[in-house]
Chains A and B, each alone.
Chain A
């Protein structure tokens, strides 16, 4: 309530004054919450004591004693629950990153496809969106995992591409690059290339501002980024080799393995999320008023310039917030991995560790804290992007 002037001393009774009432209500609300919190915490402590549940975070350093299907860092059964937490978190991040990249690509293509002047393409894209958006994500995960991937051939009959990539019901096997010590120079040259491109783009922008001359920044940057690491790689005597997966006994050994759980989860997540991204892309492009394009045409701008300088800047402003929101949803939905046993945070930590330790409160709160942190980071990012994207009006 804004402070308002009282016209007379005895206009309203104390309890009828909106300002006073607001204070009373808030005190009552606080009291209510305090009482409720006291009630549940009190019960909690009584129950914990009665059931003999341990408390505290000591369990994090105790031995986990179970194996994990896939881990990005060294892990064995004698490691602690704290390490299980890290392994799970990394696996969550892995599937989320894969999902976000694939979903963005599909979503962009389908979203643009829906606006295509080609009738067949736009209808097909619509069918894609309407089909996969209206099926629960959990159902899609289970379907890919239990039906599609389970129907793949056994390792002996696996589908192979160029004898280097193998696909069977145990997963997808791809060659693994083995890096030698000389590879550091390739990395260094890549970093230098990025710095050069950064400098170049500043220079090009400055020149454009001063003289109006354009510089083919994109192609030049791409060339620098590709050629310099490749050249260094070849000059330093190819300091990396590929390790191919090979059939040994009943299964493949060597190379990189993508387990079926990861493939099913990443596929379902990206196919599902892509439908929402496609809709966001479509809505964003449609939100640019027709007059903007027509005006740009009237000025005699080229089609590519219109897209780059007129349509996209305005469309992106509408597209980016919902897309970031969808990224967040994808990260949260990755927790459904627990239904197929992909070893991410919820499966490992809120599942296996919880069953072993029995400290539900600490474990579930820690899990929630992870997701909360992720969503806070993403919303800070979103606010930043929004502020940058805002059209600066005079």
Chain B
């Protein structure tokens, strides 16, 4: 009887594993691909080291303007003007108020996850904008801060938040209207949505800042910021409506029929059965639409509001600090990029999460 001995398992040949194998497979599989890899490496060699030098190694991080010797970015400009970038002309001694609003926001978001009671949730959602408004604008014993002093990132966030919050209910109504069986309601919704989506935001902002005051009796004076907010809300509502319509269309008709069979009224059917499902599947697209809105808030500088992008020009008009536009633009770019990028990652994560549940 032959005796079989178990052989030691041999390692995989070195040509099929490890870094070199990986590089062969993924970087140099063919001549064309190798050329592309080398081209990419060259591109990175040209772009990255000078960029890093400018941004970090050759940059001026401290000291005063007179002491600048380095070639790179002069970040001291950003440190010097940091408060203006964030708060605009908001009075310095009152910075704690928007800061407090931010803290309340974070606390609310954390609390929101723990709370199950729908009434408490509703209270939180409704009370937060009111508290924030009082904190930022003043009233109830707090010193009044006029809107033309709001600026910087604070203004950007306010405009974006008001835009998304106010446009939401309007967007839902128009989405429902567009899906409605009533021909007149449907036509009105379609005309509104397609009109808004067909024109650039800037023309809507011009309209709300120039024409809107003519639409109302003379005594009614609209604040410049309020006019911009109206324009942005009307704009965003049309886009949200289309996003939600996409969600509504994805709900199987059996859901509608089942709700009808239970004898629910239209609003109960929509509010309790259809919309919760439709909104859930639209969340990634809603976040996407919010990212667009956040980027679009930069347009308010064209009608003379001072958002964070406008601060670049404004801080550079200080005669002591001329010629620092590059640092300003790069700083603002980084802020926008970080916020938009994290939101888009969040949207993707949600999309994946809800996809697996199916």
Q: Is A258 an interface residue, CB under 8 A from the partner?
A: no
Chain A proximity of B336: nearest CB distance (Å): 6
B341 and A375 form a contact (CB under 8 A): no
> Which residue of B has the minimal Cβ distance to A53?
B214
Q: Which of A25, A133, A335, A374 contacts B182 (CB 8 A)?
A: A25
Alpha-carbon separation in the docked complex, A48 to B210 (Å):
12
- Interface segment, one of B110-118, B192-200, B268-276: B192-200
What residues of A have a CB within 8 angstroms of the CB of B309 in the complex?
136, 138-139, 142
Q: Which of B36, B44, B198, B298 contacts A139 (CB 8 A)?
A: B298
Alpha-carbon separation in the docked complex, A131 to B330 (Å):
13
A146 and B200 form a contact (CB under 8 A): no
What residues of A have a CB within 8 angstroms of the CB of B344 in the complex?
133-134
Q: How large is the interface on B (under 10, 10 to 19, 20 to 34, 35 or more residues)?
A: 35 or more
Q: Is B301 an interface residue, CB under 8 A from the partner?
A: yes
B329 and A335 form a contact (CB under 8 A): no
Q: How large is the interface on A (under 10, 10 to 19, 20 to 34, 35 or more residues)?
A: 35 or more
User: Binary interface profile of A, 231-242, with partner B (CB < 8 Å = 1, else 0)?
Assistant: 000000000000
B211 and A364 form a contact (CB under 8 A): yes
- Among B216-275, those with CB < 8 Å from A are 216-218
B36 and A120 form a contact (CB under 8 A): yes
Chain A proximity of B289: nearest CB distance (Å): 13
Q: Is B333 an interface residue, CB under 8 A from the partner?
A: yes
Chain B proximity of A315: nearest CB distance (Å): 21
Alpha-carbon separation in the docked complex, A135 to B258 (Å):
45
> Which residue of B has the minimal Cβ distance to A376?
B198
- Among A38-74, those with CB < 8 Å from B are 40, 43-44, 46-48, 50
Q: Is A338 an interface residue, CB under 8 A from the partner?
A: yes
A360 and B210 form a contact (CB under 8 A): yes
Q: Which of A1, A47, A133, A335 contacts B200 (CB 8 A)?
A: A335
Q: Is A179 an interface residue, CB under 8 A from the partner?
A: no
Q: Which of B26, B33, B214 contacts A44 (CB 8 A)?
A: B214
Q: Is B16 an interface residue, CB under 8 A from the partner?
A: no
A137 and B195 form a contact (CB under 8 A): no
Alpha-carbon separation in the docked complex, A139 to B294 (Å):
12
Alpha-carbon separation in the docked complex, A131 to B197 (Å):
26
A118 and B203 form a contact (CB under 8 A): no
Task: Evaluate whether A371 and B200 lie within 8 angstroms (CB atoms) in the complex, with A124-B43, A134-B344 already known.
Answer: yes
Q: Is B325 an interface residue, CB under 8 A from the partner?
A: yes
What residues of B have a CB within 8 angstroms of the CB of A119 in the complex?
26-27
Alpha-carbon separation in the docked complex, A354 to B44 (Å):
47
Q: Is B57 an interface residue, CB under 8 A from the partner?
A: no
Q: Is A387 an interface residue, CB under 8 A from the partner?
A: no
Instruction: Show 14 A/B contacts (Cβ-Cβ < 8 Å), sorted by A.
Output: A1-B181, A29-B185, A40-B216, A119-B27, A120-B40, A133-B340, A134-B291, A135-B295, A137-B295, A138-B301, A147-B325, A332-B200, A360-B210, A374-B198
The 9 closest A-B pairs by CB, nearest first: A134-B340, A375-B198, A119-B26, A136-B295, A40-B215, A332-B200, A26-B184, A335-B200, A360-B210
- Give residues in B with beta carbon < 8 Å to A: 26-27, 29, 33, 36-37, 40-41, 43-44, 181-185, 188, 194-195, 197-203, 206-207, 210-211, 213-218, 291, 295-296, 298-299, 301-302, 309, 312, 325-326, 329, 332-333, 336-337, 340-341, 344
- Give residues in A with beta carbon < 8 Å to B: 1, 22, 25-26, 29-30, 33, 40, 43-44, 46-48, 50, 116-121, 124, 130-131, 133-139, 142-143, 146-147, 332-333, 335-336, 338-339, 346, 350, 354, 360-361, 364, 367-368, 371-372, 374-376
